[in-house]
A and B are shown apart, each in its own frame.
Chain A
Amino acid sequence: MKKEIPLLITFLTGVIIVVTFFIPHQPFGGMQQRLLIWYSIVLGFTLLLGVDNLLRGNIRRMARRQAGWGYAAVLMAGFVICFVAGVVSLARHNSLIALNGPFMYVYTYMIVPLQATMFALLAFFIASAAYRAFRARTLEATLLLITAAIVMLGRVPVGAELWDKLPQIQDWIMEVPQMAAKRGIFIGIALGTIAMSLRVILGLERTYLS
């Protein structure tokens, strides 16, 4: 019964979702939205589970002075600062996102710059990955290098200055071979998703049950 009941729930939920896609009439219409609301409620509770896991793991690391416990201390300090700032914002301004509240101060002057810093790293990583991918060691890599050079030059004004046909060639590359490959992958993913969903609904795929 430990597996049969979850399998039955999965089967019924899967069938209901499929049916609601084709039948807009009540009680099926809007069922998908209702299930999404249930999912959000469950997610809210599991977030507590995640926070519990995060705090327990880091407190244990600090208490046992495990390698890298200093990072755990920074994480704990960040958690406490954000939590206190949130509580104070709610108490003083009745809102977590009050512009003059301490939580928004932390968000604007700490979290957003940190996020932007991580995102900005992408520029350097793109350069290093492109360097490796474009090294003309094989025929495929050489073709990739030529195509990438045409696309990059064709998308900036200097490309048109160098040769007025470059933007048109770039457009053709993006709209014909690139789009064809992309759509091929899309179709494969769509069919794979349907097949995988069918396996889950029919109970053939049970990995998610452990």
Chain B
Amino acid sequence: MKRLMASLLLIAWWQAAAAQEPAPVAPGTLEPPGMVTAVDAPNDEGQAVNVSWERSPQDAGDATAFKGYRIDRAPDRAGPWTEAGFVIGGKTQFQDTGVRAGQTYFYRVAAVAPDDRAAEAGPVGPAVPRAQWFNTSRVNVLVFTGLLSFLIIWYIERAKRGEPLYIRKIQGLDAIDDAVGRATEMGKPILYSFGLGEIRDIVTVASLAILRQVAVRCAEHGTELLVPNWDPIVMAAAQETVQQAYAEPGRPDLYKEGNISFLTTDQFGYAAGVDGMIVRQKPGAIFFLGYFYAEALIMSETGHSVGAIQIAGTTAITQLPFFIASCDYTLIGEEMLAASCYIKRDPQLLGSLKGEDLFKAALILGFAAMAVMGTASVILDNGGSPGLLRVFRAIGEWFATV
């Protein structure tokens, strides 16, 4: 009986293996790819066509036995054909971006052997690239941005009606006055750096709000403010900001344009320049608020070596640990972006922060719910009920599409 069972299993295994193996092909034979399709690429300006196919039987992952696929394009089924692109073996898709919106194109795909023999499939078409009026893959972004905007505007309206709004303390921003006061008592200047942020970086715009606050305090105390810059546009914006801030407490005479200077657009040249200023002028307080790369630790450790009180803040996640290690206070990510609202205490601005916080709370609940749902769906799937897992995957895919 055991011997019979073993024989049956052996036969079943052999048949299954035989069914999976490709049909024997004579050496040197090259077969074309199957099922070639060419369709307009979705969600674009009408500048691309997606061509796809099924792998040729000879495309078995061996680069020495199979070279790849050549994609040809023509304005008419009869030609003339031009090569639109070439992809290596194993690929089954190609996006042709050399097309113009509204024109008709035909495609054929050729399997190419290492000796450049080709077996063509097609032509297929016509494919007409067209521009779309809405990028459907970004519906999720639209929904969430719309929801967040609604919450922010709703809270701004509530704040306008005089509703009290609680915002937690941000120590780094509270410490600004202390830092300026300490530098003033020591009779030392204050140094402020935006790092390598450009004016189009939102964190640089947020940093300008903090610079204004620092400059107002400097003007009140008569403390010198140095702002070395990497970007000339940021320099111009910083000059305007500081000039206006000095006028606020009635001390425009203290404003020195030369103190808000341009150094260089070279990353380590900028770091060397700032380090030089720190070592020579020994500022009492240093602010590193903006976008930073590898120069962050070089500058903040130099600042630490001269005993300056240092307040840092950035949205560059890779540099946050360095700032935390070397500075007295660090504004982490969103705290930096909330600075202008926190400093001004304007109800409308605080309202926008509350809206953001509520959305964040909703997201945390959503993540927790998805974690529970994912775990439960896998358990139920193992028990023979795949319905919940399908729903979970569908939600995940909807979020992942951009």
B332-349 vs A, Cβ < 8 Å mask (1 yes, 0 no): 111011101100001011
A24/B132 in contact, CB under 8 A: yes
A186-B317 contact, Cβ under 8 Å, with A30-B45, A125-B298? yes
Q: Which of A84-92, A98-106, A193-201 has 4 or more CB atoms under 8 Å from chain B?
A: A193-201
A24-B261 contact, Cβ under 8 Å, with A125-B297, A208-B208? no
A60-B241 contact, Cβ under 8 Å, with A191-B148, A195-B337? no
Q: Which residue of A29, A42, A207 contacts B233 across the interface (Cβ within 8 Å)?
A: A42
A197's closest neighbor in chain B, by CB? B202
B298/A132 in contact, CB under 8 A: no
A191/B334 in contact, CB under 8 A: yes
* Main secondary structure on B side of the interface with A: helix
A195/B352 in contact, CB under 8 A: yes
B36-73 vs A, Cβ < 8 Å mask (1 yes, 0 no): 00000001111000000000000000000000000000
B301/A128 in contact, CB under 8 A: yes
Q: Which residue of B132, B317, B325, B349 contacts A182 across the interface (Cβ within 8 Å)?
A: B317
Which residues of chain A have C-beta atoms less than 8 A from B261's C-beta?
A: 53-54, 57
A122/B297 in contact, CB under 8 A: yes
A210/B243 in contact, CB under 8 A: yes
Interface of B toward A, CB cutoff 8 Å: 43-46, 131-135, 138, 141-142, 145, 148-149, 152, 156, 199-200, 202, 205-206, 208-209, 212, 229, 232-233, 235-237, 240-241, 243-244, 258, 261-269, 271-272, 276, 280, 294-295, 297-298, 301, 315, 317, 320, 322, 324-326, 332-334, 336-338, 340-341, 346, 348-349, 352-353, 355-356, 359-360, 363
Q: Assuming A21-B135, A192-B338, A194-B149, what are 9 further A-B pairs, CB within 8 angstroms?
A: A22-B138, A22-B142, A25-B45, A42-B233, A53-B232, A118-B298, A122-B297, A186-B317, A207-B208
Interface of A toward B, CB cutoff 8 Å: 18, 21-26, 29-30, 39, 42-43, 46-47, 49-51, 53-54, 56-57, 60, 67-68, 71, 111, 114-115, 118-119, 121-122, 125-126, 128-130, 132-133, 182, 185-189, 191-200, 204-205, 207-208, 210
